[in-house]
Structure 1
């Protein structure tokens, strides 16, 4: 990595990527002081490097949605529909990422989503958005703990699942009480396991499809038998049934992608955000999109959508399409290995859940949308109250003690998936308002530290389709009417509406006028920071610098 200078800031950064621990000169050590004085990032420390930022997003995204949930999507829609659904949702994620990138690099603060919505659109929107997003990650934490217990039961079926849920709840919660740079290192290596697994599967898929398996050359045989598109629910209209299958898996795809926006949350704890955040956003999206679309493509080639194991109701290696693909190819030693990888996947995702949820609470508290006690931090910059509150909701995983684990898994997937789409919609709306605020001040988007392509049309595209998906994703509850399914499909939307309307009525908030939008708080102190960059000299340091 060459020595660079940020002309737009007039600053330099010091950070040795070989150790992953930044040191500071000038006013770098005063970031927390400046932040607490103006009320933007409380006392969180800017200790995350670009490689941490990317792997936090990748680690929070590549989880059970890809390794397990993709099997149910394949069974519902077929290989072609599932591939199209994941690619389509990927374009929506892209619109969210670039929109968030413009705002997060211009104003890199903690709890960014809530702050942007409150500043540019409506304080009530920031309140409702922040709490629904926090709710999403808190519930997802319970989901990942549920999955961890079921995964361990693969090896020890006679032991109670509650034992493993309790043990992993303690471990993950404890990790999040450590300084953020330690969290970043743990998540970095966890995410590396995921990335290597996905890359390994892509290579495996190419080899098996080309003829290395017990059945010889496969090609696109699954597209012919049982077919590329699976009919779903509708019986008298084949074409409509296939479209219904495609639309039904959009929430699963959305749940799988959820977490890419974590780059924006971590901006408030990132060293030199003007440089690292844009790079992390671009690289993170392209890598995740490649991993997801590539994985779904090869799963569709190797596993027929009518394979009974895709819908066996479990959440361990037995129902993972990765394992099913290996079994069909005649590879018998892979299930145990995949199960071990799944455990790392789940623990990594759970780790990200508590981190992201706690930082959202910090942002809410800083904006006055949550009790101020949630903003309290340790001397190391850890928001211990917010971490404790978020981690407590992981105890919902003990619901498995009174019901079927697979059923609980499905409920959690639907609830969190819809909450993710709501958050993406609010990010897009915030970005549209952000651009209007810039125009009202006579500022050009050309002056932004990171300027995205195809704006504002890309934000309109993302907001429009996200709203359509949110409103229509529960259509299966009407075919025929099922009260329980309706509640699962729309509980997140109902909760969001209650939060928004309740806050609006109580606080009497008004929509923010573009000319009055706060574009300065949280930006000026970043502009004033003095950084000095040190080029890594070791081979190991250069490797991580290249990765970041």
Structure 2
């Protein structure tokens, strides 16, 4: 993982000023890092390299992997699920390398919302930013509800409203603290997720190989009941439908990977730490998703009835189902505890990412300026409070009619991740055109994405295809209600884009006029000061925490 970047987070009293009255490099760094670079609010760069690495991992490992993967297995079978997750993994990687190239060149608050507005069209940034923010705000309410349901696994008589209130207060209080606290909490939450997933993979390999006197399993589930499952219809068509359904499921599971781009605006030395996080994306995709899906498919038949459960606790997790089939009884309670950590981590990230998107929108004039207001410690407290307020919608689940409304609101958020990925790809294509038009070589970038521009076009094309076809079940047969549930987010995005275009009369930004300067020189100066500070202090001693991080992250 390299050197720790804590020099930017804990300036000592001695380094704040010297006896001659002149400020030292440490003080200069603190002053410059207190202002988020670019057209942005005063956010502070207090996230260290290990924080960013774990945020990148924790953003993807969630209920989509621990629970949603079981649904994917039941729809497409072990081979279909494996192929589906692998294919969507390539789309995610195309988005990540594109985002990495832009985020290292211009690490600003709001990240890809600012890029869409600055490189393409302010209307695109407006529509993308608001629907992405709304998805995180609504998902925050969902995670609060899920936390109550998970705790009911141990005590059925407890009312989920109690835990919605308790965890709402806990999460909003945590996000009102400096960003370094968010980074530290996410580090440990992500650490728990990583240990759980790695432990399951080792456990699955042992069980499949016949450890402990158990019979050798191998690929027995691929022959009985089979490698591919049929979904909705029978035959070859049903197997293809199952595979396509997994693409959508996998997309939902991978959403959150883009949090690296948002966190880049508050990361010390983003030119060094962000590329490292991006390069490890492929490793994370293979290890934490594809290998996990493979192991689940080897241990759990796709026709297992428990996979069809609508529960959000450990009983619906394929991890638990695999352990139960292997005769291990102690795992369900442990997995349920991990799921609680997963949900709380997701809720924490929801408020963090939603608030930072609002800061980016405010900085670009696409949201009220008050949302960009920050405390002396760089916390956008207005944006945090506004985002967290939507978590109270979780209380709608206390009544049957309210729960129906809540489900409709959640469906609006379903495709927001795909829309954001598409906009990131479009922004990157525009970014590359602007570089060429202004005579800037991509070889001079701090991080150069591979296989461009074709890789970004590949991601944009397939993401658009998934967006347009993700509601295909509403046509089999036709169901008007299901159709609107599936495509209401797309409709909302179009309304936001067209509405902003009609009101502001905005025009697409010409490549020659794209602003590639604002935010760049400030970060160059910050990096130079950081390097000078490290030279003055000398090599830092690696702690056990650094060693553990490096072992996990590579």
TM-score (norm 2): 0.92
Change (3 A) 1:166 1:98: same
* Mean Cα deviation higher: 407-416 or 515-524: 407-416
Assess if the C-alpha contact under 8 Å between 1:85 and 1:246 holds in 2: yes
From 259, 262, 266, give the equivalent of 1:265. 262
* Larger RCO: 1 or 2 (CA < 8 Å, sep 6+): 1
Instruction: Give structure 2 stretches of 5+ with no counterpart.
Output: 13-24
Assess if the C-alpha contact under 8 Å between 1:104 and 1:267 holds in 2: yes
Instruction: Give RMSD over aligned pairs.
Output: 2.2
Q: Determine the structure 2 residue equivalent to 1:482.
A: 479
- Cα deviations across residues 472-495 of structure 1 (Å, max 9, x unaligned)? 010101111222221221121111
| Residue 212 (structure 1) shift | 2.7
Q: Determine the structure 1 residue equivalent to 2:17.
A: none
* Mean Cα deviation higher: 427-436 or 112-121: 112-121
Q: Determine the structure 2 residue equivalent to 1:6.
A: none
Rounded Cα–Cα distance in structure 1 between residues aligned with 2:184 and 2:471: 39
Q: Determine the structure 2 residue equivalent to 1:443.
A: 440
Rounded Cα–Cα distance in structure 2 between residues aligned with 1:245 and 1:414: 21
Q: Determine the structure 1 residue equivalent to 2:550.
A: 546
Rounded Cα–Cα distance in structure 2 between residues aligned with 1:539 and 1:357: 33
- Cα deviations across residues 242-275 of structure 1 (Å, max 9, x unaligned)? 0001111222111111111111101110101111
Rounded Cα–Cα distance in structure 2 between residues aligned with 1:418 and 1:335: 31
Rounded Cα–Cα distance in structure 2 between residues aligned with 1:411 and 1:544: 43
Q: Determine the structure 1 residue equivalent to 2:176.
A: 177
Rounded Cα–Cα distance in structure 2 between residues aligned with 1:308 and 1:111: 43
SS at match of 2:26: coil
- Cα deviations across residues 293-347 of structure 1 (Å, max 9, x unaligned)? 1111111111111111111221100111110000000001111111011101111
Change (3 A) 1:21 1:226: farther
Instruction: Give structure 1 stretches of 5+ with no counterpart.
Output: 4-12
Change (3 A) 1:22 1:374: same
Assess if the C-alpha contact under 8 Å between 1:83 and 1:293 holds in 2: yes
Rounded Cα–Cα distance in structure 1 between residues aligned with 2:519 and 2:214: 60
Q: Determine the structure 1 residue equivalent to 2:232.
A: 233
Assess if the C-alpha contact under 8 Å between 1:378 and 1:384 holds in 2: yes
| Residue 77 (structure 1) shift | 1.4
Q: Determine the structure 2 residue equivalent to 1:309.
A: 306
TM-score (norm 1): 0.93
Q: Determine the structure 1 residue equivalent to 2:32.
A: 31
Rounded Cα–Cα distance in structure 2 between residues aligned with 1:335 and 1:57: 27
From 393, 399, 402, give the equivalent of 1:402. 399
Rounded Cα–Cα distance in structure 1 between residues aligned with 2:403 and 2:319: 18
Q: Determine the structure 2 residue equivalent to 1:162.
A: 161
Q: Determine the structure 2 residue equivalent to 1:10.
A: none
1:287 aligns with 2:284: yes
Alignment of 1:134-173 (within 5 A): 134-173=133-172
| Residue 15 (structure 1) shift | 3.0
Q: Determine the structure 1 residue equivalent to 2:186.
A: 187
SS at match of 1:496: helix
Assess if the C-alpha contact under 8 Å between 1:47 and 1:181 holds in 2: yes
Q: Determine the structure 2 residue equivalent to 1:51.
A: 50
Rounded Cα–Cα distance in structure 1 between residues aligned with 2:228 and 2:545: 47
Q: Determine the structure 2 residue equivalent to 1:9.
A: none
Change (3 A) 1:274 1:502: same
1:97 aligns with 2:88: no
Rounded Cα–Cα distance in structure 2 between residues aligned with 1:308 and 1:515: 59
Q: Determine the structure 1 residue equivalent to 2:512.
A: 515
- Cα deviations across residues 155-176 of structure 1 (Å, max 9, x unaligned)? 0101112211221111111111
Q: Determine the structure 2 residue equivalent to 1:8.
A: none
- Cα deviations across residues 399-446 of structure 1 (Å, max 9, x unaligned)? 322249998998677543411000000000000000000000111110
SS at match of 1:25: helix
Alignment of 1:98-497 (within 5 A): 98-212=97-211, 216-235=215-234, 238-403=235-400, 415-497=412-494
- Cα deviations across residues 368-387 of structure 1 (Å, max 9, x unaligned)? 00011100111111101111
Rounded Cα–Cα distance in structure 2 between residues aligned with 1:88 and 1:149: 34
Assess if the C-alpha contact under 8 Å between 1:41 and 1:268 holds in 2: no
Count of residues paired in the alignment: 533
From 528, 537, 542, give the equivalent of 2:541. 537
Rounded Cα–Cα distance in structure 1 between residues aligned with 2:52 and 2:353: 12
Q: Determine the structure 1 residue equivalent to 2:60.
A: 61
Rounded Cα–Cα distance in structure 2 between residues aligned with 1:22 and 1:277: 22
